[in-house]
Amino acid sequence: MMKTAEAGVSVLMQEKKEVEVEKVVEGEEGEEGEKKEKKEKKEKKEKKEKKEKKEKKENKEKKEKKEKKEKKEKKEKDRDRRRRRRRRRRRRRRRRRRRRM
């Protein structure tokens, strides 16, 4: 009976040691896991910031392109308006000259 009790105790001691070893191993994995999580979180944040920066740049470029296009259209419109005015003036002058003669 003594031997079985001693055997039981030694088995328990061995299991206890295995549990302690497992805890230590899990603890190391936990620290590494935390580091890995922090790194992943940081990478995710950087990726998000990079994406936002890219979108902001694209929006700025679109806005500038739109403004440039509008400016060009306005310039053409003004030019056409001036041409029409000149033509009208010339026509009026010609008509007046013809009437006088």
Number of domains into which the chain is organized = 1
Q: Give the Cα separation of 86 and 80 in Å (integer).
A: 10
Report yes or no on 23 lying in a domain. Answer: yes
Q: What is the pLDDT of residue 1?
A: 45
Q: Which domain holds residue 13?
A: 1-73
Task: Name residues of the chain where pLDDT drops below 70.
Answer: 1-30
Q: Give the Cα separation of 22 and 28 in Å (integer).
A: 10
Report yes or no on 29 lying in a domain. Answer: yes
Greatest pairwise CA separation for the chain in angstroms: 146
pTM of the model: 0.47
Report yes or no on 82 lying in a domain. Answer: no
Report yes or no on 54 lying in a domain. Answer: yes
Eight-state DSSP code of residue 1? -
